[in-house]
Each structure stands twice: as C-alpha cells, then as structure tokens.
Amino acid sequence: MGMRGALDTGLTMTAYPPIRVGLIGYGYAGKTFHAPLISATPGMELVAVASRDAAKVHADLPGMRVLPTPDALIADDGIDLVVIATPNDTHAPLASAALRAGRHVMIDKPMALDLAEARALVALADASPGQLSVFHNRRWDSDYLSVKQAIDEGAIGEVVHFESHIDRYRPTVRDRWRESAGPGAGIWYDLGPHLVDQALQLFGLPARVHAALAIQRAGGLSDDWAHVRLDYGVRQVIVHASMLVAGGARRFVVHGTRGSLVKTGADRQEAQMLAGQIPGSAGWGEDPDPLVVIDGEGRETRRAPAPGDQRACYAGLRDALRCEAPMPVRAIEALATMAVIEAGLASHREGRAVSVPLTPVERQALDRPGF
C-alpha cells in the first residue's frame, strides 16, 4: 500500500471512533518513532503511555496519561491497541499478555527473541479477538521504495546481485540494552530485521542463509558487525550492518541482467523525527539523493527518489482494524523474518549455510509469489 493511498483514503474521521492507542515504553523507539507516528496518523489517538519516567513523557506530551507499569496499561479497557516499544526480551511476554486481554497489538521489531516465541505469538493471535502486527516501518523508507520501484519496472532486468547496507559510525560502545550482552542485543537483532524484511518483500524466502557476525569495537559486548548472504541460486542477496563505517558506504547496490542501480543516501525520516519534525509536515520524507540507474553501456540516469512516509505502517494498521484493508505487516511475515534471523545465528555458530527453518504450513501461509 502506497503512503499517499494509505493516508488519503477518502474516509471521514467521523465515520469511525478513533483507535485508542496505549504505548508501552518511552525509550528511543517509543519517543522517536512510535509516539510521533501515532499522533500524526488520522484516526488514531495516543491516550496513554506506560513508563517509569513520567517527567520524560510529559516533557514531550503534556497532559498525557502515564501509567506506571505495562500490566496497568494492558488492563485498561479504554485502550484498543497496545504498542510495544520495549527491550527485545520483553516483546513476546508483553504481546502475549495484551492479546490475552483482548487488545490489538503492534510490536516493535523483532517480534520475539526466537522462532519458538514467534510461533507461539502467531498461534495466540489466531485464537484471540485481537489482531497482531509488527513494526517493520522501513518498508516505507524512501531509499527502499525507490529501489523497489525501479526493480518492479524492470529498469535493470532480472536482479542477480542485491546488496543492502545499514552502516553507521559509532565507535564508542554505549550503555544501553541494545549493546549489552543480554538476550536480544546486538546489531543482528537490531538492524537485521529491517534488512531481512526488505529483502523478503522483494524476493521471498532464500534457499539458504550464510552469516558471519563479529564484535569489532573495543569493549563491545554483543555483535556490532553482520555480513549475511541470502542464497537464492542465481540471485545472491547481501545484507550488511556495521558500527565502524565513517564514510564511503552505499545504502543499496543492485546488479541485473541489463544494468545496475546505486542508492547512496539513506532515508531521512529518523533524522527528521530526531530533529523534532512532525511526520507529514512540509518536506517530510523527501530525499535529495537520487537513484542512479546505469545501463549496459555504462550510461547513468538519475531518478528522483520516491518519498518515504512511515505513517503508512500505522495508517495501514488503522484500515486493517476497520476491516477496510489487509494488514500492512502480517504476523506470518514477521515470523518469516524471525526464521531468517534465527538461521543467521545458527549459520554463524556452525560456520555453514543453513536453510530457513519454516514448515510447509508456514510457507503456505505466507501466500505470496516468491515465498
């Protein structure tokens, strides 16, 4: 679903009561992504936040009702949708509690710590009145949308090599759970789900996964470098993330039978939200970095990037909960991403390529070409 279509449905907001949203967690993800995107999505109303730091919430959201614990928020019958933006090891337990309470649930990625937890969540959601989705927001980034559009148009023929990087320069290990030695920490759990989800949306499930993880920074406690090859036979897909890249990296490099694509700059929405820009305001999601298409003769064509707008994740969820559209990120798709994450961990541990551990029933449930 495109962003414009997702938000400009023609539905009047008075036709439906607003979806009342409770946000659990007001750390980096809750503050930077979820609260601004929810507040900027018509038909959704952020009504409560569960946080131990009420002052921090009120500094950004004056008058917001702050509850002291996740359990208190989940038990509140005035909340329709529970959004979970907490450390990764709490995702599955909190989502399970919310589903059992009859709430709809949106979990920040990754949906769980492992495939067993993910499977239990999907089964619980299937048996519950509430619906489950996962915040794979980078499906609506300008860089990815631009590359996807060019591939879909056949601009470079059949893709044979696809390389996707999220590289940063953060040489100092920070004191936060994402960089700890705890469960769900490390770059493969943090950035891997974004990279994998985008690849699966484009190409479906790979035949095998071959992964290498490393700790490169002094004092590092969890992996801060990941290089993973998704094997599709003739087509090879590389997803890569690192914390020690000061420059020179490209976001996407794609080679096909008739040419190549290069996208150097990354989507700007995270930076815009960090700067306090309101999602949907003037200039939102605009990308000044062109997509370069190189034909078989070496001629370059520069294309204006597609605009990004991560509000589509919430707008699509809104429409799905109203039974007006399919779920923008289905739980089974997030489960497939978890299967690749788990395969990557096994591959690194065992030093060999491994297959994606999904059952025939799960593969059938994905129900789209390529998967």
pLDDT tens digits, one per residue of 126-142? 999 999 999 999 999 99
Residue 2: pLDDT band (50, 70, 90) is very low
pLDDT tens digits, one per residue of 241-298? 999 999 999 999 999 999 999 999 999 999 999 999 999 999 999 999 999 999 999 9
Q: How far apart are CA 212 and CA 225, in angstroms?
A: 8
**How confident is the model over 44-68, as a mean pLDDT?**
97
Q: What average pLDDT is seen over the chain? A: 95
SS3 39: helix
Contact of 303 with 150, CB cutoff 8 Å: yes
pLDDT at 93 over 50: yes
Residue for token pair 């299937």 = 126
Contact of 70 with 49, CB cutoff 8 Å: no
Q: Edge-to-edge strand order for the sheet containing 291-295?
A: 208-214, 225-232, 235-242, 159-167, 252-256, 259-263, 291-295, 300-303
Percent of the chain with pLDDT over 90: 94
Closest CA to 90 of 44, 25, 18: 25
pLDDT of residue 119: 98
pLDDT at 369 over 60: no
Q: How far apart are CA 108 and CA 133, in angstroms?
A: 9
DSSP state of 308: P
Residue for token pair 């298409």 = 293
Q: At what angle do helices 142-152 and 192-203 cross, to 10 degrees?
A: 20
pLDDT of residue 371: 65
Residue 320 CA to its chain's centroid (Å): 18
**How confident is the model over 314-335, as a mean pLDDT?**
97
Residue 15: pLDDT band (50, 70, 90) is confident
Confidence (pTM):
0.94
pLDDT tens digits, one per residue of 208-236? 999 999 999 999 999 999 999 999 999 99
SS3 258: coil
Q: How far apart are CA 154 and CA 150, in angstroms?
A: 6
Query: Which residues neighbour 93 within 8 Å (Cβ) at sequence distance 6 or greater?
Result: none
**How confident is the model over 82-102, as a mean pLDDT?**
98
pLDDT of residue 104: 98
**How confident is the model over 86-112, as a mean pLDDT?**
98
pLDDT of residue 18: 97
pLDDT of residue 367: 80
Helix (H) or strand (E) holding 315: helix 311-321
pLDDT at 334 over 70: yes
pLDDT of residue 3: 35
Q: How far apart are CA 249 and CA 266, in angstroms?
A: 10
Closest CA to 194 of 44, 312, 329: 329
**How confident is the model over 165-179, as a mean pLDDT?**
96
Contact of 37 with 43, CB cutoff 8 Å: no
Domains of the chain (ranges; CATH) run 3-138+314-327 (3.40.50.720), 142-307+339-350 (3.30.360.10)
**How confident is the model over 195-204, as a mean pLDDT?**
98
**How confident is the model over 176-186, as a mean pLDDT?**
95
Q: At what angle do helices 115-126 and 331-350 cross, to 10 degrees?
A: 170
Segments of 88-224 assigned E as strands: 104-108, 132-135, 159-167, 208-214
pLDDT at 66 over 50: yes
Q: Edge-to-edge strand order for the sheet containing 44-50?
A: 65-67, 44-50, 19-24, 81-84, 104-108, 132-135
pLDDT of residue 5: 36
Percent of the chain with pLDDT over 70: 95
